[in-house]
């Protein structure tokens, strides 16, 4: 996954430490009872990718939902991040 240039209403950006890719994120406007993640991290992926992943972005880490298990529970990766900046609203 890499930087996605079609972010809707970006709130900020960060660099993922291990690969050095830059990501923008926005507020999760699709929140529901099953989704406790306040952000969308905008990613570019394979053909037919939805363009974002649900996440919680903090100062030095991001918890990103990358899949779901056989019971429908989210599979979360912890990303170490740097150069986190919030955009002026």
For the residues of 28-41, what is the DSSP string, one character each? -TT--TT----EEE
Q: What share of the chain is helix, strand, coil (3-state, %, to 5)?
A: 0, 55, 45
pLDDT higher than threshold 80 for residue 49: no
Domain span holding position 58:
2-86
> How many domains does the chain divide into?
1
Report the mean per-residue pLDDT for the chain: 85
pLDDT higher than threshold 70 for residue 32: no
Q: Which of 47, 44, 28, 48 is nearest to 36 (CA)?
A: 28
Among the ranges given (8-12, 22-26, 46-50), the one the predictor scored with the smallest mean pLDDT: 46-50
Share of residues in the chain with pLDDT > 90 (%): 55
Q: How much is the pTM?
A: 0.83
pLDDT higher than threshold 70 for residue 4: no
Contact assessment for residue 14 and residue 82, using Cβ atoms and an 8 Å cutoff: yes
């Amino acid at each position: 996954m890499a930087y996605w240039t079609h972010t809707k209403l970006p709130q900020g950006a960060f660099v993922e430490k291990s690969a050095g890719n830059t990501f923008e994120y926005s507020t999760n406007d699709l929140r529901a009872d099953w989704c406790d993640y306040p952000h969308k991290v905008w990613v570019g992926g394979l053909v037919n990718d939805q363009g974002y992943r649900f996440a919680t972005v903090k100062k030095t880490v991001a918890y990103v939902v990358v899949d779901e298990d056989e019971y429908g529970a989210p599979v979360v990766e912890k990303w170490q991040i740097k150069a986190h900046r919030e955009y002026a609203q």
